[in-house]
Structure 1
């Protein structure tokens, strides 16, 4: 597997910002990148489900769940929907469930941890708004790059031609 982030930071040090939170990998895809779509919610994954049910076209959903460990914002059913709809990955400032199943999916899933309890569906939250993750502002339309070294964002799409 390619260690993408070290090479990107070597080549584009001023164009990348590392997300400082301690995310753990849960999905079967550990290397992915794409345009950012955001959701801001708290212990209600209605908007996560809504967004991932739409065509992703290789995008990555970044969710600010406030870091809550009381409810899982993603499980196997919504992750399956994300895969079926062409999403590259989901990054959650919060928790997931169905961790064993998620590891078998060809989907990037990074979160703070796993816990078994689902959310209530109250249709609360916001889609495509700027979010703050560990004092880093993440905006819709940015690019995110993920591998086992971390998660980085950029205002623009970066060219990988130098990797050849």
Structure 2
């Protein structure tokens, strides 16, 4: 489903492209919802905590500071997100368990895959403004993702 081209055609001044070289993981090709933010570096403690809590269709947006040296999410944490009704996950960093994630009913975008798991030292901040590849994302901003990329709006947009 190609939603982003239509959204940009209809709402060009209300959408901001979250430009990066996103790879698509997970079985859902399109996902959208309000953002919950995490800022962390090679430590997925806060990601694990959040995806174990009720997601209510929200999108977890993680500023992993672009690190490709440790995976911030794998199949077990993704399954927790599915079980708790998260709409998707966007990781400005790496993931792992690529084949398994491709079969799971959740949308996941990340920079790349890395087989090395993250550290768990309880580091990271949640629900703060984050910058993902030069784009400011605030908690509650609306996130849209499909095979074309990732975009952000201050509020939910509808297609005509």
TM-score band by shorter chain is: over 0.9
1:76 is aligned to 75
For residue 134 of structure 1, report the CA deviation from its aligned partner: 1.4
TM-score norm. by structure 1 comes to 0.96
Per-residue CA distance 1:72-129 (angstroms, 9 max, x = gap)? 0000000000000000100000000100000000000100000111112100000011
SS of the residue 1:71 aligns to: coil
Can you give the 5+ residue segments of structure 2 that lack an aligned partner in the other structure? none
1:49 is aligned to 48
1:123 is aligned to 122
Structure 1 distance, partners of 2:18, 2:10, is 18
Structure 2 distance, partners of 1:74, 1:83, is 13
TM-score norm. by structure 2 comes to 0.98
2:18 is aligned to 19
| Equivalent residues, number | 160
Following TM superposition, the consecutive aligned residue runs of length 4 or more in structure 1 with deviations greater than 2 angstroms are none
Structure 2 distance, partners of 1:80, 1:54, is 12
2:144 is aligned to 145
1:29 is aligned to 28
SS of the residue 2:72 aligns to: strand
- When the two chains are superposed, the root-mean-square deviation of aligned CA atoms in Å is 0.6
For residue 30 of structure 1, report the CA deviation from its aligned partner: 1.0
SS of the residue 1:110 aligns to: strand
2:94 is aligned to 95
